Structure 1
Amino acid sequence: MTPDFILFATRLDAPPERALMSEPEDIAAALAAEECAWLHMQADDPRADQWVDDNLGYLPEAVRDALNAEATRPRLAPLGDGVLLNLRGVNLNPGAEPEDMISLRIWIDPNRIVTLTRRPLKTVEAMEELYRRGEGPRTAGTFLAVLVEELVARIEEVVSEMDTDADALEEKLLRGGGDGLGTHINDQRAAVVDFRRFLVPQRDAVARLHAVPGPLLSDNDRYELQEAEDTLKRLVEVVESLRERLVVLRDELESRADARLNRNLYILSIVSAVFLPLGFLTGLMGINLAGMPGAEWPPAFWTFTALCGAILVVQLAILWALNVIRPR
C-alpha cells in the first residue's frame, strides 16, 4: 500500500503496465536503478523527510537537506551529473490567489527525479496525467524541459490576465469612473509585488539551467529551456511594466481626488462669500434698538430687501463669470 506522503511514482521509460509504482520498496529500488524513475512527495510530511534520508542516502547530504528545507526561493545548484532546483508555480487551487506561488523542490539526474510540494500544483498534476496515459517524457532531461515549460505557460496565463485587468482599470479611470478603483489598484499592486519577488530569481535560475553541463540535457532539451527562459524574461518585463503602470494609475487617482477636494473647498469659500454679507445685513435687520436708521421710515424694509437682492444678483453674476455655476 502506498503511504499517503508518496503522491506519485513512475518509471519513465517502461511499458505502461509496469511504469506506475505504489510499494515503497519498489519505488526505492527504481530510484536506485539505471532506468530513470520519478517520485513526487508531500513536502510538509515528516515521514517524507525520513523516507528521503532512509532510502536516498546515496544523494549528497546537501541535496537531502535542501529537499527537506522549510523555506525555499527559486535557485539552481548543479551537483555532479544532477541539478538541485527550486522553482515556483502559480497557485490555481480553488479559493487561492495565483500570486501565492507554490514551491516545487526538485532533484534531477539522468537516473532519478525527486520532487516535493507542500500544496497541490497543477503543473505536477498535468505531468502525472501524462504518465497515467503512457504519454510522459522518457528521459530526465525531457521531463525537466516539459515541466519548466508547463510552469512558465501557467505563469504566462496569469500575468496576461493581470495585464488585461490593468488595462481595464486604466480605461475605467480615463472614462472618469474612479469610484472604488483605489482598492482594486492596491490589490493589483500587491499581486504584482508577490509575482516579481519570485519571477526574477526564477528567471535567473532557468537562465542558468539550459547551460548546465553533463549528460542530463540533450540539445533539444536545452533549446526548449532556452525558449522558456526567453518567455520568463518577457514576463518579468511585463510585471515590471505593470508595477509602473499601477503606480501611475494610483497617482492619477490621488490627483483627481485632490482636485475634487480643492474644487469643493473653492465652492464652499464662494458660498461663504455669497452669504457672509447677506448674513451681516439680515443680522442688522434683527437689531431692535431705538434710533436705527430708517426705523421710522415706512419704505425702509422694502428698500433694504431690494439692496440685499441687488447684492445677491451681483454675486451670482460674479460666480457665473468665474464659471462656477454655469450649466455643463
Structure 2
Amino acid sequence: MEQPHERAPMGQGPGLIWGIDFAPGERREVENCNSPHDGFVRWLHLNLADHGTLLWVRTTPELSPAAREILLSQDKHQRALVEAETVACVLHDFERDFDVRDTGRIGALRVVLTPGLIVSARHHPIGSADIARKRLRDSEIVTSPARGLDLIVGAILENFARITGSLSSEVQAAEDALVEERQVPSGHRLMDIRRRLAQLHRMLEGMQSVFRRLELDEDLPEDILPTVEKLSQRVQGADGDIQSVLSQLRAVRDEINDQSNLRMNQNLYILSVMTALLLPTTLVTGIFGMNTGGLPLTGRDGTLGATLVAAGAALATYLFLRTRGFFR
C-alpha cells in the first residue's frame, strides 16, 4: 500500500514508490529508475511531490515531450495526448489517507505509455494504485502498454464500483425502510449520497471523453486501439450503473417527499376541522365575556346555560360539516 507523501529509500531512484520489470512469465522489482531494462516492459509508479521525480522527468531520455508535458503539468483536468508511439493521459481517482480508504477528494493519476516503459504518477496517494499494485504482485504480467492501460483503468473502475456499491446499499436500505415503515435516513444523508453519485458521474463522463478522443486520434498506435475501445465501453457501463442508482435514489426521495406532504396535509386538515368546530364556541364565549348590560343567562344557572349554548353551536357546526362531506 502506498503511503501519503512517501519518499523512496536511497538507491531506488527519485520519488519511486514502486517499480517492476516484466518479461513473459517473469517479474522483478526495480531498484533504480535509470537501470537498463532491455527486453522488459518497465512500470514505474512515481511520487510527483518529490523534487527528484521532477528532475528525473525533465532529464530522462525515455520520455517524449508529450509525456513530460502530461507529467509536469499542473492541469488536473482529464485529457490525453498522443505523440508517435507515446500515449499520455490524466485520469481521475479518489485520494486516500493513512487510515481513510476513501477521502472523497478527487486526485489526478498521470499515465504515460511507451513500447518499453509505463509511468504512473500522482501527487497524493490514490485508491487505484493500491489495487493495481496488489494485482501486479498476485498474478498480473504486463507485457505491453495496452495491458498496462487496461490494468490501471480497471483498477480505477474497481475503486469506483466499490464506492457505488456502498452507496447503492444505503439507497436500498432506505427503500426497504420506507416499505416497512421504519425510520429512513435523514434528508441530509440522502443529499450527500446524491452529491457523491453526481461526483462519480462527472468523473466517469470525463473519462469517457478521454477515451472517445483517443479512439478518434489517427496517431493512436494500432495495438492500443482495441483496448481503448473496450475501456470506453466499460466506463460507459460503470456510468450506467451510477445512473441506475441515481434513478433509484430519486424515486426514494420522491416517495419520502410524498409521505411528508401527505402527513402535512392530514395535520392541516385536522387543524382546519378543529378550528371550524371551535369557532362558534369562541363566538359564544366572547359574547358572554363582554362586560355589557342586559346579557342573557346571568342568573344562578347562567354558566350551565352558556355551556350548553356553546356545545350546541359546536354540534350544529359538526352536523353541518358532516352533511357537506368534510369528514371522511
TM-score with structure 2 length normalisation? 0.79
Instruction: Report if aligned partners of 1:73, 1:198 keep a CA contact under 8 Å in 2.
Output: no
Q: Which amino acid aligns with 1:311?
A: A
Q: Equivalent of 1:303, from 302, 305, 310? A: 305
Amino acid at match of 1:21: V
Aligned to 2:190: 185
Other-structure match for 1:143: 148
The one-letter code matched in structure 2 to 1:302 is: L
Q: In the TM superposition, what is the alpha-carbon distance from 1:8 to its structure 2 partner?
A: 1.1
Match of 1:28 in 2: 34
1:1-328 correspondence runs (5 A): 1=10, 2=12, 5-13=15-23, 19-23=28-32, 27-30=33-36, 35-54=40-59, 56-57=60-61, 59-91=63-95, 94-95=99-100, 97=102, 99-132=104-137, 135-177=140-182, 180-207=185-212, 218=223, 225-296=228-299, 298-316=300-318, 322-323=326-327
Partner Cα distance (1:153, 1:240) in 2: 17
Which residue of 1 is the match for residue 5 of structure 2?
none
- CA distance in structure 2 between the aligned counterparts of 1:89 and 1:231, rounded to whole angstroms: 16
Task: Compare relative contact order (CA 8 Å, sep 6+) and give the higher one, 1 or 2.
Answer: 1
| Equivalent pair of 2:14/2:50 in contact (CA under 8 Å) | no
Q: How many angstroms apart in 2 are the aligned matches of 1:229 and 1:215?
A: 15
How far the C-alpha of 1:295 sits from its partner, in A, is: 2.9
SS of 1:205's partner is: helix
Shift in Å at residue 81 of structure 1? 0.8
Letter in 1 for 2:269: Y
- Cα distance in 2 for partners of 1:224, 1:146 equals 10
Q: 1:42 to 1:217 in 2, by over 3 A?
A: farther
Q: Which amino acid in 1 is paired with 2:34?
A: A
**Cα–Cα, structure 1 residues 96 and 153, in superposed 2: closer, same or farther, change >3 Å?**
closer
| Equivalent pair of 2:66/2:81 in contact (CA under 8 Å) | no
Letter matched to residue 198 of structure 1: M
Does the 8 A contact of 1:141 with 1:216 survive in 2? Answer: no
TM-score, length of structure 1 as denominator length: 0.79
Does the 8 A contact of 1:11 with 1:30 survive in 2? Answer: no
User: Which amino acid letter does the alignment assign opposite residue 312 of structure 1?
Assistant: A
Q: CA deviation at 1:281?
A: 1.4
Task: Judge conservation of contact 2:89–2:110 (CA < 8 Å) in 1.
Answer: yes
1:28 alignment partner, SS class: coil
Aligned residues: 315
Quote how far apart the aligned CAs of 1:105 are: 0.5
The one-letter code sitting in structure 1 at the alignment partner of 2:307 is: T
> 1 or 2, which has the higher helix percentage?
1
Amino acid paired to 2:78: P
Shift of 1:210: 6.9
CA contact under 8 A between 1:141 and 1:217: conserved in structure 2? no
In structure 1, the residue corresponding to 2:121 is in which secondary structure?
strand
Q: In the alignment, is the contact (CA less than 8 A) between 2:25 and 2:141 conserved in 1?
A: no
How far apart, CA to CA, are the structure 2 residues paired with 1:265 and 1:134? Answer: 65
Unaligned runs of 5+ in 2: 1-9
Identity over aligned pairs, percent? 18
Q: Which is further off, 111-120 or 264-273?
A: 264-273
CA offsets 1:11-67 (integer angstroms, 9 cap, x no match) = 2228968x21223xxx22436x5632121111233332122112x245333321211
Amino acid at match of 2:314: L
Distance 1:229 1:124, change over 3 A: same
Q: Please give the root-mean-square deviation of Cα atoms over the aligned residues, in Å.
A: 3.4
